[in-house]
């Protein structure tokens, strides 16, 4: 445990940011899985699910949780699955 005041503050800030990042990543993974299952089942709302997943990917990228190339790769993968289904 740190003794210096600024180091104590950094521990608290890091903990809150880690919790935020974890929540965003979890939500992102859930939306991607929902989109993939919708595509696999051939649901009529699969386009909407993919659109929402892409939106979440963009939000994670904007917040610095995903690298821009990772975001582009994941979006491309989803769209390819949608078009090939």
Helical ranges in the chain per DSSP H:
5-41, 46-62, 68-84
Q: 1 or 8, which is more confident?
A: 8
Average the pLDDT over 7-25 and give the result.
Answer: 97
Average the pLDDT over 41-57 and give the result.
Answer: 94
Domains (range + CATH), the chain: 5-84 (1.20.58.110)
* pLDDT computed for residue 70 by the predictor: 97
- Report pTM: 0.87
């Amino acid at each position: 445990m740190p003794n210096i005041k600024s180091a104590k503050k950094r521990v608290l800030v890091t903990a809150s940011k880690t919790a935020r990042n974890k929540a965003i990543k979890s939500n992102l993974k859930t939306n991607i899985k929902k989109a993939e299952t919708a595509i696999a089942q051939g649901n009529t709302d699969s386009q909407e699910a993919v659109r929402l997943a892409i939106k979440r990917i963009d939000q994670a990228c904007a917040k610095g949780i995903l690298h821009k190339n990772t975001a582009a790769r994941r979006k491309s993968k989803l769209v390819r699955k949608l078009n090939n289904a």
